[in-house]
Amino acid sequence: MSNFSIGNLNLSVPIVQGGMGVGISLSGLASAVANEGGVGVISCAGLGLLYRKFSSDYNEASILGLMEELKLAKEKAKGVIGVNIMVALTNFADMVKTSISSKADVIFAGAGLPLDLPSFLTKGCTTKLVPIVSSTRAALIICEKWIKNYNYVPDAIVLEGPKAGGHLGYKLDQITDEKYSLEELLPDLVKNIKIVEEQNNCKIPIIAGGGIYNGTDMKKFLDMGASAVQIGSKFVTTDECDASLAFKETYINSKESDVEIIKSPVGMPGRAILSKFLERVKAGTEVPKACPFHCIKTCDYTKSPYCIIKALYNAYKGNFSKGYAFAGSNAFRAEKIISVKETIKNLMDEFRRS
């Protein structure tokens, strides 16, 4: 297995830890993954809630919180630290600027097309830009716009399949349609990105994500042309994950039938673990009275069944009567909480045996 790299950032294991918000992947988890040779990723979703002690203004608290998380991660880690930023966030531009000024190694941008992302780069900055897509078409649109408008080629591309946790870039009927499976989508993207690489004399590694749970899964997608994999759910049940113990135990105590597709106020389908809160949402008894943060561009609280950022924050704290856990399709397979070191060792041992 050749080492995986994003530009001049060399990784000893081909693993990118998925960005999970609110509060699930912060400096604790990200630094632990980075120290084992993978890419550790901080999610900036909801940092304004987590860092209210820094400022009563949500946007200002988000900026200060991200600066603090990057500082903590850099102090604890000797490896590569990235930030996951949803394009759908109303403070997307602030989060990108803060990531760059705080010297994040990589920005991963999904939940929308980050068409203007290279416009935020400053002179001399070394932050790598990696879009997250759910189709070849989206990847090629981004490549075309970035090259034409900024003379910039993506440093890597994450292809996230329909088995991922959290928000999914698929229509409801596509999630279970084999034509949209990661196994079907990846070869087409690999073929088309090769053409972009040849035309621009560059290398664009593809990172495959969504439902990848063990070393056998890793081997399958690397054999299909991916350079690395993105793994989220597997890292939730680690000692270093920043979520509450109750959040981690939700994964361990779940059954396959508990992991289901929900309708999110963001306007995209999502995958989550059933909770009392979600049962009330289904019954139509959860209605937001106001929108205190306006954190998502596409969210209209007068039409939303609940406030997503508060629900995810409550889950992070372990309050599942008022929240729920996003999770990948294989989250129910978690059996116990172990260290990140052991998790990555197990993944790589399985990979080599496959």
* pLDDT for res 15: 98
pLDDT at 22: 95
| Residue 1 clears pLDDT 70, i.e. is over it | no
Going by pLDDT thresholds of 50, 70 and 90, the confidence category of residue 287 is low
Q: Sign of dihedral through CA atoms 216, 221, 227, 231?
A: negative
Q: What is the band of 265 on the pLDDT scale with cuts at 50, 70, 90? A: confident
Rounded Cα distance between 89 and 66, Å, is 14
Mean pLDDT of the chain: 93
Q: Are residues 167 and 265 in the same domain?
A: no
Same domain, 275 and 139: no
Mean pLDDT calculated for residue range 243-258:
97
Q: What is the pLDDT of residue 252?
A: 98
pTM, rounded to two decimals: 0.95
Q: Which of 34-38, 277-281, 305-309 has the highest mean pLDDT?
A: 34-38
For residue 158, cis peptide bond before it (omega within 30 degrees of 0)? no
Q: Output the pLDDT for position 297.
A: 62
The 3-class SS string of 138-173 reads HHHHHHHHHHHHHCCCCCCEEEECCCCCEECCCCHH
Residue 14 confidence class, pLDDT cut points 50, 70, 90: very high
Q: Are residues 288 and 148 in the same domain?
A: no
State how far the Cα of 312 lies from the Cα of 173, in Å rounded to an integer: 25
The SS3 assignment for 120 reads: helix
Nearest to residue 88, comparing CAs of 132, 53, 56, 126? 132
**Whole-angstrom distance, CA of residue 32 vs CA of residue 341:** 8
Percent of the chain with pLDDT over 90: 87
Specify whether the backbone of 210 is left (phi greater than 0), alpha (psi in -120 to 50) or beta: left
Residues 6 or more apart whose CB falls under 8 angstroms from that of 197 comprise 203, 204
Are 198 and 251 within one domain?
Answer: no
CATH at 133: 3.20.20.70
Widest CA span in the chain: 56
pLDDT at 268: 83
Query: How many folded domains does the chain comprise?
Result: 2
Together in a domain, 201 and 318 = no
Verify that 145 and 266 share a domain, yes or no: no
Out of 13-22, 154-163, 286-295, least confident range: 286-295
172-200 confidence digits (pLDDT tens): 999 999 999 999 999 999 999 999 999 99
* pLDDT at position 295: 63
Q: Please report which confidence band the pLDDT of residue 299 belongs to, taking 50, 70 and 90 as the band edges.
A: low
pLDDT at 301 over 70: no
Residues 235 and 264 in one domain: no
Residues 137 and 191 placed together within one structural domain of the fold: yes
Question: How far apart (Å, rounded) are the C-alpha atoms in residues 264 and 271?
Answer: 9
Is residue 303 located within the same domain as residue 260?
Answer: yes
Say whether pLDDT at 71 is over 80. Answer: yes
- Position 120 scores a pLDDT of 98
**pLDDT tops 90 at residue 114:** yes
* Contacts of 257 by beta carbon, 8 Å cutoff, 6+ apart: none
Name the H helices within the chain.
27-35, 47-50, 58-76, 92-101, 136-150, 182-200, 215-223, 233-236, 245-253, 276-283, 308-317, 340-353
What is the model's pLDDT at position 288? 61
Tell how far CA 106 is from the center of its chain. Answer: 12
Q: How far apart are CA 6 and CA 204, in angstroms?
A: 8
Q: Which domain holds residue 320?
A: 245-331
Q: How confident is the model at residue 88 (pLDDT cuts 50, 70, 90)?
A: confident
Does residue 185 share a domain with residue 315?
A: no
